[in-house]
A and B are shown apart, each in its own frame.
Chain A
Amino acid sequence: MYNASDLKKGLKIEIDNDPYIVTDFQFSKPGKGQALYRCKLKNMITGVIISPTYRSGDSFQKADLSERKMQYLYNQDDEFWFMDLENYEQTALTSAQVSDAKDYMTDNLEVDILFFGDKPIGITLPYFVDLIVQKADPWAKGDSVAGDTKPVTLETGYVLRVPPFIEEGEKLTIDTRSGEYVTRVKE
């Protein structure tokens, strides 16, 4: 159990059977009155934001959240399937839940799947992934000045801008937080 005085940014609590994360928080205490805790809470499943005000006596259930290391298997229709490497249990996220993460996911990638109770609700990627360039225009020397970039398409279908010397078939390290090119992988 949490009390209102435990509220702070990043705290995860359960309200009406949904997990919420505190995204903003303001302590107020007008005059000699009650302490108020004005919050912005984001529903961790639907993304809906609510703005409740709590008082010092209020208490909250801790959201039952856990992360499990899982391997990405495949996607079929609207579902992305993952397997727990310890007990081989399989679970699926919807493409809406996977969202932009699918730009970085190749078979067998190890990711963290977030569970609320026994229900999978989110995915956390490794900060860096290696992906193969599927399509790139050839680099015409002298065409461009140093510092230019060109678009390439990766094996996942993700399109990003990279230095002009990158060629088809090369493996690149991508930062999944920014979606940007980091370096070429030398093999």
Chain B
Amino acid sequence: MIPGRGNMSRGSRNSLPNIKKERALEPTLKLRARMIQAIRAFFEANGYLHVETPCLIPAPAPEAHIDAIRAGDLYLQPSPELCMKRLLAAGFSRIFQISKCFRDKERGTLHLPEFTMLEWYRTGIDYTVLMEECQDLFLFVCESLHLQEPVCYGGRDIDFRPPWERLSVEDAFKSLASIPLKEALEKDLFEEVMVAEIEPHLGWGKPTFLFDYPASMAALARLRKDNRAVAERFEIYVGGLELANGFSELNDAEEQRTRFEEERRKRAASQRPVYPVPEKFLDALPSMPDAAGIALGIDRLAMILTDATSIDQVVAFVPETL
């Protein structure tokens, strides 16, 4: 406990700005802290090393739709992905990190330009094993927090016990969308259909793994050997919220360079800043064993566990009130 901070009066607590009045900040921040403790305990129990990689980086991954925030001659990391994979290449086999990530112009009920991300990477597995591990993690966190099973979110019960629902992107379009996946891609309407017709229905009852994304939507993922049209990539949805994005990692440096060039070309075409090619990452990639890795939004997980409708409700401060 920090001296002098132990006994916050009711008055000083209530004077914290930006918190929606109808929600109590203290129980939310306490649950959030316990949630992070449980996550750390899970990874430590499973042989993972907690690593810290720099927030200031010279070359963010050149992805078409993720904008980094400049900081002098460097960038604030949009994700620790490239540094963590360099650690895999250096011989680490199980690593995790909880860090702040930064993405320019992302602000909404589910987005903050500065947010907290859990990323973990493990060698020797592919995305299907990673999905199993996700189930274990969520169950461990719920049990550690003594949360009632099932968790209630948005007035509906969500049962985190495995097995979760598995739905391929193609099947999701077949069963939920007004047009098939092929047509959505041809007409460049993938995101519009996903947001309006598919996402709201995912992850109710049980969490949903939405998997096998179109190859064009996975700049850093391995393609399926038996179907080069899709990448070994999945997203976790709970209560209509996208919580995590994981995949089998691409470790073919030549293919990765080609993909980066393609993403940089897309950025240039849409008049976005084009970042330097992350050469040191590409140099290390041939040494990286087969692996899978995933990024999970800590703020959104806290939203689910506190039944929050806005990301603003699970953080102490938002940009508008600083």
Tell yes or no: B159 within 8 A of A by CB.
Answer: no
Which residues of the partner chain B approach A32 to less than 8 Å between Cβ atoms?
A: 63-66, 217-219, 245
Which residues of the partner chain A approach B242 to less than 8 Å between Cβ atoms?
A: 30-31
Q: What residue in chain B is nearest A27 (Cβ atoms)?
A: B108
Tell yes or no: B132 within 8 A of A by CB.
Answer: no
Per-residue CB proximity of A27-54 to B under 8 Å, as 1/0? 1111111111010000000000000010
Which residues of the partner chain A approach B194 to less than 8 Å between Cβ atoms?
A: 30-31, 33
Give bound CA distance, A33 to B216, whole Å.
10
User: What range describes how many residues of A lie at the interface?
Assistant: 10 to 19
Task: Indicate which residue in B111, B196, B219 contacts A53 across the interface (CB closer than 8 Å).
Answer: B196
Which residues of the partner chain A approach B245 to less than 8 Å between Cβ atoms?
A: 31-32
Task: Indicate which residue in A29, A31, A35 contacts B217 across the interface (CB closer than 8 Å).
Answer: A31
A30:B191 contact, CB within 8 angstroms: yes
Q: Which of A31, A33, A53 has the largest number of chain B CB atoms within 10 A?
A: A31
Tell yes or no: A95 within 8 A of B by CB.
Answer: no
Tell yes or no: B254 within 8 A of A by CB.
Answer: no
B108:A28 contact, CB within 8 angstroms: yes
User: What range describes how many residues of B lie at the interface?
Assistant: 20 to 34
Task: Indicate which residue in A5, A36, A56, A57 contacts B195 across the interface (CB closer than 8 Å).
Answer: A36
Task: Indicate which residue in A30, A35, A53, A57 contacts B106 across the interface (CB closer than 8 Å).
Answer: A35
Which residues of the partner chain B approach A38 to less than 8 Å between Cβ atoms?
A: 195-196
B110:A28 contact, CB within 8 angstroms: yes
A27:B106 contact, CB within 8 angstroms: yes
Give bound CA distance, A50 to B110, whole Å.
23
Per-residue CB proximity of B99-113 to A under 8 Å, as 1/0? 000000111111100
Tell yes or no: B270 within 8 A of A by CB.
Answer: yes
Which residues of the partner chain A approach B63 to less than 8 Å between Cβ atoms?
A: 32
Least CB distance from A51 to B in Å reads 10
Tell yes or no: B192 within 8 A of A by CB.
Answer: yes
Tell yes or no: B121 within 8 A of A by CB.
Answer: no
Per-residue CB proximity of A86-113 to B under 8 Å, as 1/0? 0000000000000000000000000000
Per-residue CB proximity of A3-24 to B under 8 Å, as 1/0? 0010000000000000000000
Least CB distance from B89 to A in Å reads 22
Known: A28-B108, A30-B242, A33-B65. A57 touches B270 (CB 8 A): yes
Q: Which of A5, A27, A30, A57 has the largest number of chain B CB atoms within 10 A?
A: A30
Known: A36-B195, A38-B195, A53-B192. A31 touches B235 (CB 8 A): yes
B218:A30 contact, CB within 8 angstroms: no
Which residues of the partner chain B approach A156 to less than 8 Å between Cβ atoms?
A: none
Give bound CA distance, A35 to B272, whole Å.
13
Give bound CA distance, A27 to B109, whole Å.
7
Tell yes or no: A26 within 8 A of B by CB.
Answer: yes
B105:A5 contact, CB within 8 angstroms: yes
Give bound CA distance, A101 to B303, whole Å.
44
A28:B195 contact, CB within 8 angstroms: yes
Give bound CA distance, A42 to B172, whole Å.
33
B195:A30 contact, CB within 8 angstroms: yes
Instruction: Using CB atoms and an 8 Å cutoff, list the residues of chain A in contact with chain B.
Output: 5, 26-36, 38, 53, 56-57
With A28-B110, A33-B217, A57-B271 known, 16 other A-B pairs at CB within 8 A are A5-B105, A26-B108, A27-B107, A27-B111, A29-B106, A30-B191, A30-B199, A31-B217, A31-B235, A32-B66, A32-B219, A33-B65, A33-B190, A35-B105, A35-B106, A36-B195
A-B complex: 4 closest residue pairs judged by Cβ atoms: A27-B108, A33-B191, A30-B194, A34-B191
